[in-house]
Amino acid sequence: MKILVVDDEMVSREKMKIIMSHFGECEAVENGADAVEKFVDAWNGWTPFDLISLDVQMPEMDGVEILNRIRGMEREKNVPESKRVKVIMVTARSDKDTLMTSIQAGCNDYVVKPFDKALVAKKLSKLGFQVHLF
């Protein structure tokens, strides 16, 4: 599984990268512009990401805007929904508006901080990924 972690907070980004590294090949970036660039580069190289862990609150370009851009690019390329990248939104805010906005933008699931390996594994399994806790 090829995974991209996007989070502006270094501690959260590194924690998620360590967790996700147990489940596949993992890259991490700290902002929206880099996330969109990585997504495009992966598509152009015929090695798209299987999963993106995307922080909701970030400066300049927040997670919802990034997700809207990614879903827009997938629609432009006529990517069937079953083949689109799975996106887990990561947020410190569990309020209804934040969650609904993320779901409407096209996320597949969400994780509320603080998170741990067991919670992430459960979310990945729910999305259909094979996960092995060791």
- Is 127 a domain residue? no
- Is 77 a domain residue? yes
- Is 59 a domain residue? yes
Q: What is the pLDDT of residues 51-65, one digit of tens each?
A: 999 999 999 999 999
Statement: the pTM of the whole predicted model exceeds 0.85: yes
- Is 132 a domain residue? no
Q: What is the pLDDT of residues 69-83, one digit of tens each?
A: 999 999 999 999 889
**What total number of domains does the chain contain?**
1
Q: What is the pLDDT of residues 82-105, one digit of tens each?
A: 899 999 999 987 788 888 889 899
- Is 90 a domain residue? yes
- Laid out side by side, the sheet with 86-91 consists of 25-29, 2-6, 51-55, 86-91, 109-112
